[in-house]
Amino acid sequence: MAKARRVALRIVGGLQCGSGGLASVFAYLVYASPLIREALTIASEEVPLYMFLFLVFGMFSILSGFLLVHEEDSGS
| Position 3 confidence tier, pLDDT thresholds 50, 70, 90 | confident
**Ramachandran bin of 51, using left for φ above 0, alpha for ψ from -120 to 50, beta for the remaining angles:** alpha
- The per-residue pLDDT for 69 is 87
Percent pLDDT > 90 in the chain is: 75
The verdict on residue 62 lying in a domain is yes
Residue 76 pLDDT exceeds 80: no
The verdict on residue 70 lying in a domain is yes
What is the residue type of 47?
A: V
Please tell me the distance from the alpha carbon of residue 43 to that of residue 10, in angstroms, as a whole number. 39
Range of the domain at 59: 10-74
The structural domain count of the chain equals: 1
Q: What is the value of pTM for the model shown?
A: 0.82
Q: What is the pLDDT of residues 61-73, one digit of tens each?
A: 999 999 998 876 6
The verdict on residue 1 lying in a domain is no
- The per-residue pLDDT for 70 is 86
The verdict on residue 2 lying in a domain is no
